[in-house]
Structure 1
Amino acid sequence: MNDRYHLLSFNDEGRARSGLLIGERVYPYGPELGALLQLDMQDLTVTELIGRWDKSGSQLREAVARINASTTSLPSLALDAANLLAPLLPGTIYGAGANYYDHVAEMDRAFNMPPSPDPHSVSGSPWHFIKAPACSVVTGTGAQVTLPPYSRNVDWEAELAVVIGRPARNVAVEDALSYVAGYTVANDLSLRDVFVRDYIGVHSPFHFDWISQKCWEGSCPLGPWITPAENIPDVQSLGIRLWRNGELRQDSSTAEMIFSVAEQIAFLSSRVTLHPGDVILSGTPAGVGMPHKQFIESGDEIEVWVENIGTLKNTFTTHDTSRTDS
């Protein structure tokens, strides 16, 4: 048995608890497990564990090794019996825009535009936006997402999500991945019909409406868990796929990224300090709905898979217009 594991959050009688997923068993994190393993394991959420990753990362590796070597039965539950939540509530969420070569090409065709120049040769810098706080936009695997009533063009975007594990400021590209605690899966949902203000000219900085497009309630499903960075030997060679109601719509690889994960971390850290628990959505590949004018409808199920990490699943429903918000 190897020491591979995932770090997840689950609902334990109304409160969020962290757990170690080893194989198909979830081992709740906390004092009880710590006592059995003779380790100092406080009852921390995944967000808190990431916040002290320099200590908890090595502690988790030791715990997993001891669990695998143990001949006694330790408290656990089956994965399919665990009510999973979003694996963490990020601090700041940074989203990479137009960061896959195949996606840029399909959007150029969709808008009848000439091929975009390679950003590496034009600017040398990636481009990001910031999403609203996690408590407003993040939801977990298995959760139902309510489609906003002011949009009919809700699009899917399969993404590799990068979880920062220690403060990063002005880091070099060659050192950047050492600041990563782990990786998870995201669906950076986008509203294509409220992205622009048509009454304002395209050359105005107020033409685009990023809040309406990217920062609505439930717009950032994350999960199903966090895979430690040490278990991902090459983050730039991972398969990434998305299915809508069982139909494969996105099928690419992180090798198609324009700016690598390391380059994104280095760039962002030159602007601000990245903190433990911050998440970078590293871009989406070709296969989104926009070029074909096909969008998410009520009753749809979207599955997003990233190789060596797992599958994020969500269903969608329409806004309940009979309710009145208080």
Structure 2
Amino acid sequence: MINHASASEPSRPVLVSYEGGRGTRVGILVRQQVFDLAEVSATPRYAEMSEVLGDWSLVKDLLRRFDASATNGTTPLALAEVRLLAPVGTPGAIYGAGANYADHAAEMARVNNTVMSGKRGERSWHFVKSSHSVVGPDAVVKLPEGASSVDWEVELAAVIGRQGKNLSLEEALDYVAAYAVSIDLSARDLSRRVDLPEKSPFRMDWLSHKSFDGACPIGPWLVPAEYVKDPQQLDLALSVNGETKQDSNTNQMIFSLAEQIRDLSARITLWPGDVVLTGTPAGVGSSHGHFLRKGDRVSASVAGLGVLEVSIEA
């Protein structure tokens, strides 16, 4: 049941980052055509995704009113003519939700011989991934040196579009600009420095575990938040070489996206361009002792957001 989302064109205008012969640009994708956002808006700074997200209140109105037949004489490129890049550009910060699906928390507890309570009275828990680990659609990811247990995790990614601090649960989703599909690649065997004693405070290694080059595929495009009726009712799935590994729904999250944004903003100011990875369901490789190998093809989908595919370097 992997076909939760279509790899074809989205039903409404979405934002892409692309390479089409003039360097990296931001575009509006509609009907298999890519329109240069800076040109159609007559706003040169919109060639940079950071500027687009920083002006989100204006850009979302532009997307809502966009008419492909009236674009200031701009000539679009066919989608097949461009190379799609990570739509978020280089994000500000990436916050990953740990153990945020009950079934995944349970499977990881079995693997690690730990206890995952997931009580609703607790607050959500996040780690940080390097923004430089981000790659886009059809990227080729090289397995990190010395790793033999690189795992897959499909996730709903939420991109922040407004600066926010100490946000309430009721207002939290108002700060989301757009959504995308993400894959949180994790080098399980690099998460601990096995040459150090178990009780050493330096034994854990989250940098090697979560932030190696290519560890954060995001794409294929950004879907404005107003097009997503309920981020807690989205099917998501992941396959490796065509074999379904994960198949679930965001309604299985322990902490909703709104709760996560509330909790994050209580600890740190959220900025336009920040990305929240909302957790992954059961079905990761470590639960069965199966991991990514050279030449594997990983395909992840979230309903209404498209399909994100990457390959492991052969």
Does the alignment reach a TM-score above 0.5? Answer: yes
RMSD: 2.1
Q: Match of 1:9?
A: 17
In structure 2, do the counterparts of structure 1 residues 42 and 14 end up closer, same or farther at CA, with 3 Å as the change threshold? closer
Could you tell me whether the CA contact under 8 Å between 2:180 and 2:218 is conserved in 1? yes
Whichever residue aligns with residue 273 of structure 1, its letter is: T
State the shift of 1:185 in Å.
1.1
For 2:228 and 2:187, the matched residues in 1 are separated by 32
For residues 1-326 of structure 1, the aligned pairs below 5 Å read 4-13=12-21, 15-31=23-39, 33-34=40-41, 42-62=45-65, 64=66, 66-67=67-68, 70=70, 75-88=75-88, 89-113=90-114, 116-121=116-121, 124-132=122-130, 134=131, 136-317=132-313
After superposition, what is the alpha-carbon deviation per residue over 1:89-129, rounded to whole angstroms, capped at 9, x for unaligned? 21011111111111112222334556x322324xx201111
For 1:183 and 1:226, the matched residues in 2 are separated by 6
Could you tell me whether the CA contact under 8 Å between 2:13 and 2:63 is conserved in 1? no
Give the secondary structure class of the aligned counterpart of 1:30.
helix
For 1:59 and 1:41, the matched residues in 2 are separated by 15
Give the secondary structure class of the aligned counterpart of 1:20.
strand
Larger radius of gyration: 1
After superposition, what is the alpha-carbon deviation per residue over 1:41-82, rounded to whole angstroms, capped at 9, x for unaligned? 7542222201111222212222x2x32x65998622222322
After superposition, what is the alpha-carbon deviation per residue over 1:166-186, rounded to whole angstroms, capped at 9, x for unaligned? 001000011000000001111
Identity of aligned residues (%): 43
Give the secondary structure class of the aligned counterpart of 1:303.
strand
State the shift of 1:40 in Å.
5.4
- The normalised TM-score by structure 1 is 0.87
State the shift of 1:30 in Å.
1.9
State the shift of 1:147 in Å.
0.9
Unaligned residue ranges in structure 1 (runs of 5+): 319-326
The answer to which of 48-57 and 192-201 deviates more is 192-201
- The normalised TM-score by structure 2 is 0.90
For 1:71 and 1:259, the matched residues in 2 are separated by 42
Could you tell me whether the CA contact under 8 Å between 2:220 and 2:307 is conserved in 1? yes
In structure 2, do the counterparts of structure 1 residues 249 and 230 end up closer, same or farther at CA, with 3 Å as the change threshold? same
For 1:47 and 1:310, the matched residues in 2 are separated by 22
Whichever residue aligns with residue 103 of structure 1, its letter is: H
- Greater RCO structure (CA 8 Å; 6+ sep): 2
In structure 2, do the counterparts of structure 1 residues 192 and 240 end up closer, same or farther at CA, with 3 Å as the change threshold? same
